[in-house]
Amino acid sequence: MIDLVFLKNKEFIGIKITGKFIQFCKIEKGYYVYAPIDGLQLDINGILKEYPDLKGLDNLSIKKEAIKRFKEKIRSFDTEEQIMAYLKNDLRKHNYNFIGYHKKGFRFVKEHEQPN
């Protein structure tokens, strides 16, 4: 299990990677709220930038296809570390700043630190 921490617009966002299952975390009123990608509000314009071939479909179909492709992409990786690298690089394109990560049983590693 790996927990990733990102910062966007002064808001911390967490992502938990457990095998090939991804959960997104937002802190609301002091509580950690986890949701799979299916439960997130996705920006249709952002999806269309990533997948221009979906243009012309209704918003629900665009969202469903984007989620399907995301899950397929995640399943294509062999390790949690590969998933982490993909998420770091992909979210940077959307102005998310990677703060660091935590692997179960180890200390938190900040972005500027190198793991041993």
* 91-116 mean pLDDT: 84
3-state secondary structure of 35: strand
Q: Which amino acid is at 71?
A: K
Q: Closest Cα to residue 80, out of 58, 44, 106, 54?
A: 106
Q: Closest Cα to residue 3, out of 113, 111, 108?
A: 108
Beta strands in 1-116 (DSSP E): 2-8, 11-18, 21-28, 31-35, 97-103, 109-110
Mean pLDDT taken over the chain: 90
Q: Is residue 28 within 8 Å of residue 100, measured between CB atoms? A: no
The whole-angstrom separation of Cα 12 and Cα 96 is 10
- CA dist list (Å): 77 to 1, 47, 71, 91: 15, 21, 11, 17
3-state secondary structure of 45: helix
The pLDDT value recorded for residue 32 is: 81
Q: pLDDT by residue (tens digit) across 2-42?
A: 999 999 888 889 999 999 999 999 877 778 888 999 888 88
Q: pLDDT by residue (tens digit) across 30-75?
A: 788 889 998 888 889 989 998 999 999 999 999 999 999 999 999 9
The pLDDT value recorded for residue 28 is: 75
